[in-house]
């Protein structure tokens, strides 16, 4: 799934729907997450996107017909057995009906019937077809059998109608498929609490004290944990990032709100990772109106210290694992060692935010893992890759 995780095999099943073109981007999203992607198409799907496109994207053979691979006379069985997760995106009303009623009359339907892997379907069709009683009953049947059904988005459809039936964004479909693949993963049964982003401490209704945190590292941790089977709560401060699909996200603004949300989620958590850049101080008496330059209070804003979330969780962690972050611009390791001793957590991830390739807003991080066993320097890597490495060390897996 990343530089430091296993590589799942995703069988992407593409059916005959105008949304089939989105499956190209879904394949790319899966690949960017580290998955190996194999594509199975219905014959009707080839009228919307050619197999050559998927061969070029995946560097794998593309399966279409039951007998189109002379080297594999029982192709539907080999495909069914090789997949770690099967993703049907887009899923037409026809394939949903076949799955619900056990019909196996082509390569895709026979493979879906034969596989033991988790199945995720992302329906896409006209709103009338989606809302039809027959389709809804088929969806309920599949859900009772354990099939993961991604509810389609609403909006303007290709046919000109407006309503439900749009295939969701490819990144969201890919995230949910990889979550299903990780249900029996190394973090199955764990509840991981992650804080991310910065906080906004109000001076008045317009101004605030904040920082440059983008929330990217926390989102990467949430995504990596959920893909490995964990139940994840992401407490997210002000940030422009989209939380990973399938993750419970609690949005907050201030340090006080983040503390309250974190303490509530910590009740059921087994692992807490405090990746947020929480403000150390907050205005003692925020104004209820926009302050003017002529007002003395704008020249001298009285500050009060915020509650330390990492220390608060560490103080009552018991058998739970609590990991903190230290964003530094100098003496990175020394400051992180002092923070580890002061906070009482199990480990600190220290990162150098003075580097151009590390820290706030970047897609990569240079970090050190610091715990009771010593200091372990890690190479500069993608935040996605670092997330898997942090989780591996946190669980000693």
**CA 374 to mean position of chain CA atoms:** 30
Counting every residue written for the chain, the total comes to 397
Contacts by 74-79 with C-beta closer than 8 Å and gap 24+? Answer: 75/107, 76/107, 76/110, 76/111, 76/114, 77/114, 79/11, 79/38, 79/40, 79/107, 79/111, 79/115
CB 347 within 8 A of CB 394: yes
The one catalytic residue in 159, 249, 274, 380 is 159
Is 345 assigned a catalytic role? no
Angle at 200 between CA 198 and CA 205, to 5 degrees: 160
CB 312 within 8 A of CB 264: no
CB burial of residue 69 (10 Å; 0-12, 13-18, 19+): middle
Residues 6+ apart with CB under 8 A from 221: 192, 194, 196, 273, 275, 387, 390, 391
- Report CA-CA distances (Å) from 351 to 23, 238, 332, 368, 383: 36, 21, 7, 7, 11
Q: How far is it, in rounded angstroms, from Cα 308 to Cα 274?
A: 11
Tell which phi-psi region holds residue 344, choosing left (phi > 0), alpha (psi between -120 and 50) or beta. left
For residue 266 the two structure tokens come to 């910590």
> Which residues carry out catalysis?
159
């Amino acid at each position: 799934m990343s530089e430091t995780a296993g590589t799942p095999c995703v069988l992407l099943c593409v059916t005959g729907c105008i949304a089939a073109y989105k499956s190209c981007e879904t394949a790319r999203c899966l690949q960017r997450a580290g998955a190996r992607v194999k594509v199975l198409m219905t014959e009707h799907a080839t009228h919307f996107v050619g197999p050559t496109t998927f061969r070029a994207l995946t560097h794998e053979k593309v399966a279409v017909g039951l007998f189109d691979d002379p080297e594999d006379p029982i192709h539907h069985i080999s495909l069914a057995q090789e997949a770690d997760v099967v993703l049907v995106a887009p899923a037409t009303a026809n394939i949903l009906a076949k799955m619900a009623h056990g019909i196996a009359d082509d390569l895709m339907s026979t493979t879906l019937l034969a596989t033991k892997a988790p199945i995720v379907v992302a329906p896409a069709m006209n709103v009338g077809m989606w809302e039809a009683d027959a389709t809804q009953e088929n969806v309920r049947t599949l859900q009772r059998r354990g099939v993961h059904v991604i509810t389609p988005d609403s909006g303007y459809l290709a046919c000109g109608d407006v309503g439900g039936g749009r295939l969701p964004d490819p990144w969201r479909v890919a995230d949910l498929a990889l979550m299903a693949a990780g249900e029996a993963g190394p973090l199955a049964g764990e509840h991981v609490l992650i804080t991310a982003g910065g906080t906004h401490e109000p001076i008045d209704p317009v101004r605030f004290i904040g920082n440059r945190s983008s929330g990217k590292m926390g989102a990467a941790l949430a995504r990596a944990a959920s893909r490995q089977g964990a139940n994840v709560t992401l407490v997210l401060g002000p940030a422009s990032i989209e939380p990973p699909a399938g993750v419970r996200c609690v949005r907050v603004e201030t340090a006080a709100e983040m503390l309250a949300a974190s303490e509530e989620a910590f009740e059921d958590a087994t692992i807490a990772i405090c990746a947020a850049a929480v403000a150390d101080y907050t205005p003692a008496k925020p104004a209820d109106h926009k302050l003017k330059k002529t007002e003395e209070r704008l020249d001298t804003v009285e500050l009060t210290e915020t509650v330390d979330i990492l220390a608060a969780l560490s103080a009552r962690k018991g058998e739970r694992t609590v990991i903190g972050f230290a964003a530094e611009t100098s003496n990175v390791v020394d400051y992180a060692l002092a923070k580890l001793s002061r906070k009482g957590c199990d480990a600190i991830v220290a990162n150098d935010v003075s580097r151009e390739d590390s820290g706030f807003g970047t897609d990569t991080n240079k970090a050190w893992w610091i715990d009771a066993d010593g200091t372990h320097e890690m190479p500069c890597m993608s935040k996605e890759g670092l997330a898997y490495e942090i989780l591996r060390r946190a669980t000693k897996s």
